[in-house]
Structure 1
């Protein structure tokens, strides 16, 4: 199986920088932090028009939590349909109920919508907040989810390393397990891959850029993307950057 790297991007500019650094697949969000927000249609259209990237769109109406009210859900399904109509290659979403279990009805409905476009359905980091991980994984697999994003049920990827290894071993043949790498230290990625057996890594390669009217903002550093690619290609056999 090929190893794969995905770059988490917060804008059209970020996407262009990621591609310039050698990436071929991104998760597109309107915000780089706290697991992201739904991107604008303008951002998606510009990325699809001017890059050759595979684009997984984050579907998230607000930053806090994964238990949504009816208005949030209505908006999310409309956003998903519009994103898919405009070229999204996949949607990353997550629905939990008040007991922190998978919201089966909403999750099934979203998977069916995404698959009706023949695109990828990814369960986002909502999976890190469930109380029963094995039950949740089996529910998602039964419903046909294509993959998950995870930090191993922890706030940082190092604390979640053992769980990520378990998820890859127990469920990796049924769906794609993508570890959300929140550390820009490229030297540690290969060791993490070897220790967990993970095949997919999502990276965020940020630098602070000067904004003359206020202060600064974070954006993708194409040189950091390139450096991660070079580090991985040098040390890991059969590693494909997507």
Structure 2
């Protein structure tokens, strides 16, 4: 029997999250500002999303655009933000923290993991910037990270398909490898060849920051 496939939709506003849930998404990655790759939504929006959305909600923990090397002040903000999510019914957090040498910032990760408590943890596409991706994934596994969102180090998941296949083959029994980046209904079948069981898409309407219900429905059908 094949492993059930799960669809996570990155939503950059509450309207998209509601559309995604109704269209059959399994989980929401909640953030704002698509143009910069997603940053943390304000806490009032988190509360509204948690009240209105019944499927699991994972929240992006990224205070600003740019790199993933954080100052102590930024780390303190992230910790408080994670604690807020943990005490207000959020199911998971999504973050990435690197050193100036593009290696995993282990100390910061440990602090955020401790703040997260029982929430699920996804390390996002910061992994694609790591100089030693395989070694970095081994570190994330040792930390207890649940999932890794990756495009295989390429501009999108389709371009990185062969590398994603290798990551899934090497690490898939120890951590969830989730392809993301340019994932759409026209290429999801190819990406399913990776052997992965969870997939990440923003599924936006053309020239819009709003989720496309028909695209989400099609993705779900193809994953079934």
TM-score normalized by the length of structure 2: 0.93
Query: SS of 1:17's equivalent?
Result: helix
Cα RMSD for the two superposed structures: 1.5
Query: SS of 2:115's equivalent?
Result: helix
Question: What is the rounded CA distance, in whole Å, between the counterparts of 1:152 and 1:90 in structure 2?
Answer: 22
Match of 1:224 in 2: 215
Q: What does 1:43-62 correspond to in 2, within 5 Å?
A: 43-62=45-64
> What per-residue deviation string (whole Å, max 9, x for no partner) do you get for residues 69-123 of structure 1?
1221111111111122222101111110111111111111111221x2x110111
Match of 1:199 in 2: 197
Contact 1:12 1:43 in 2 (8 A): yes
Question: What is the rounded CA distance, in whole Å, between the counterparts of 1:91 and 1:68 in structure 2?
Answer: 17
Whether 1:63 aligns to 2:65 is yes
Say which structure is richer in strand: 1
Contact 1:149 1:177 in 2 (8 A): yes
Match of 1:131 in 2: 131
Contact 1:8 1:32 in 2 (8 A): no
Match of 2:43 in 1: 41
How many residues align? The count is 222
Contact 1:9 1:220 in 2 (8 A): yes
Contact 2:19 2:213 in 1 (8 A): yes
Match of 1:76 in 2: 78
Radius of gyration: which is bigger? 1
Query: SS of 1:219's equivalent?
Result: coil
Segment drifting more, 124-133 vs 105-114: 105-114
Match of 1:97 in 2: 99
Shift of 1:224: 1.6
Shift of 1:208: 5.0
Contact 1:181 1:201 in 2 (8 A): no
Residues 1:120 and 1:52: Cα distance change in structure 2 (over 3 Å): same
Which segments of 5 or more consecutive residues in structure 1 lack a partner in the other structure?
210-216, 234-242
> What per-residue deviation string (whole Å, max 9, x for no partner) do you get for residues 181-206 of structure 1?
4143x132012212x11211101111
Shift of 1:68: 1.1
Which segments of 5 or more consecutive residues in structure 2 lack a partner in the other structure?
none
